[in-house]
Amino acid sequence: MPQRLMLLDTASLYFRAFYGLPDTIRRPDGTPVNAVRGLLDMIARLSTDYQASHLVACWDDDWRPKWRVDLVPTYKAHRVARAVPGGTDIEVVPEGLEAQLPMIRRVLELAGIAIVGAAEHEADDVVGTYASQASLPVDVVTGDRDLFQVCDDAREVRVIYTARGMKNLEVIMEETVVAKYKVLPQQYADYATLRGDASDGLPGVAGIGEKTAASLLLKYGTLERLLEAAEADDGGVSGPVRAKLSAAGAYLEAAPAVVRLVRDLKLPTLEEAGALLQPVTGDRRSELEQLAIDWNLGGSVRRLLTALDQRA
């Protein structure tokens, strides 16, 4: 099998699994297991359909890093359940899903699925680092448009986009980003900064929407060059646009670092992380099969084991 790395935006997937399957699927003690089942089925299908040889479940060690909040205080503010001064704020997570997160980690560990996070960083940054540094083709699985910025045809990095559901997966490549947004993947972070993103609490520049943001980047290439042109008398930026950019000056100075993925984290190598997919054997397989019974995981564990057995 040719080598291919799959990077999971894990939270994106287990949230989708939780809302996509009824929470009436429960363990004998009443704890829901719909997210566990759904995630395992996703991994079994995705790793098989896209022929992954290596897989990393990228994890949010810090879903709302303080350094990003310091730059843009509204960043993900609408998703905070409880602020933790000096620590990681508590995210709004349904109680039924919260109870499943330890189960998800345990089952992935037993299945030999690498779980990698980074202190003070989001899973997106883990994805960005591995995708930027990998020496083999990469598939990034996510429902988050921010990760479109990793698409790179020359390096065979693409996104498997889940926003329309597992039955309607979309493979995002450079030409897809251009067709959808009229910008290149390497311009996507600047584009998102300009137009804003309510789902992440990014206000954007008032009065500049998707079309204007795309047209400005088409003309000037980068946000930095656009701002330089807006300050020059002969830069060609219209008066109204200059006024809008000026009014958003503080935001535009801070937001690019928030939106852009970190691509240089010190992470374990794929070998160190145990990213190579392999059959599950011995005590780990026995424990996983027993948990499938004890936790009412149905055929999800069996399907994952079958998918991994194919890597023999």
Q: What tens digit of pLDDT does each residue of 12-55 get?
A: 999 999 999 999 999 999 999 999 999 999 999 999 999 999 99
Contact 57, 10 (CB under 8 A): yes
Per the prediction, the chain carries an average pLDDT of 96
E strands, the chain, in order: 5-9, 54-58, 80-82, 90-91, 114-116, 138-142, 157-161, 170-172
- pTM of the model as a whole: 0.96
3-state helix, strand, coil in the chain (%, to 5): 50, 10, 35
- What gap in Å lies between CA 175 and CA 178, rounded to an integer? 5
pLDDT tens string 207-260: 999 999 999 999 999 999 999 999 998 999 999 999 999 999 999 999 999 999
